[in-house]
Amino acid sequence: MKKGAVILVIVIVAVAGIFLWIKNSYNGLVKSDEAVNAAWSQVENVYQRRLDLIDNLVSTVKGYAEHEQSTLDSVIEARAKANQVRIDPSNLTPEDIARYQEAQGEFGQALSRLMVTYENYPDLKANQNFLELQAELAGTENRIATERRKFNEAARAYNTKVRSFPTNILASMFGFQTKGYFEADAAASTAPKVEF
């Protein structure tokens, strides 16, 4: 009788231990997945902030730089294209993130061309609205870099859990997949050419 009770207690403790491990591992995966989704939302928020600033910037520049209509049109077109790219945060594949990053990069390049045009317009350089918008855009670019870094950190922590043994067994059973990362633009690895 005592031997059977001891075996029963051992089985109950083992089952309870396995249940707690599964529960804690699953809940840890869910928390990490939610952290990645929240970080992605912040990335989208700061990119949207940049897109929202453009209407004001284009309006300000339009009054001064009438001869730059093609540049303004390219900014508006790139803004629309970047605004159309939507990514499902529950399925952040490297390809989806690259597609999102490409659209945002094209917009950034068009925006850079617009900012260069202001050099030709001294009145625009002195316009207070334009100067404030430039400062807002610079701050937004810093926020974008910060939120992308935070996203990559959250994705790294999540991916580590998904791929670590023995949690990887539960992750595959419940459909948890690794998430992609933001990567540096290919142009960032090439040093700019400086000529005097």
CA angle 107, 111, 114 (to 5 degrees): 145
| Structural domain that includes position 83 | 40-163
| 187 within a domain of the structure (yes/no) | no
CATH number for the domain harbouring residue 45: 1.20.1440.20
Instruction: Note the pLDDT of residue 190.
Output: 45
Residue 188's pLDDT band (cuts 50, 70, 90): very low
pTM, rounded to two decimals: 0.74
Residue 191, classed as helix, strand or coil, is: coil
| 129 within a domain of the structure (yes/no) | yes
Tell me the two tokens of residue 138.
């610079």
| 4 within a domain of the structure (yes/no) | no
130-142 pLDDT, tens digit per residue, is 778 888 888 888 8
Name the domain count of the chain.
Answer: 1
| 172 within a domain of the structure (yes/no) | no
| 13 within a domain of the structure (yes/no) | no
Tell me the two tokens of residue 137.
């855009």
Please give the Cα distance from 28 to 23 (Å, whole number). 8
Average pLDDT over the chain, rounded to an integer? 82
| 184 within a domain of the structure (yes/no) | no
Q: What share of the chain in percent tops pLDDT 90?
A: 36
Please give the Cα distance from 89 to 96 (Å, whole number). 10
Residue 94, preceding peptide bond in cis (omega within 30° of 0): no
| 47 within a domain of the structure (yes/no) | yes
111-122 pLDDT, tens digit per residue, is 887 777 766 776
Does the pLDDT of residue 126 top 60, yes or no?
A: yes
| 99 within a domain of the structure (yes/no) | yes
Does the pLDDT of residue 101 top 50, yes or no?
A: yes
Q: Which carries the bigger pLDDT value, residue 193 or residue 178? A: 178
Nearest to 179 by CA among 44, 87, 82: 87
What average pLDDT does this structure show over 13-26? 93
39-97 pLDDT, tens digit per residue, is 999 999 998 888 888 777 777 776 666 656 777 778 888 888 888 888 888 778 888 88
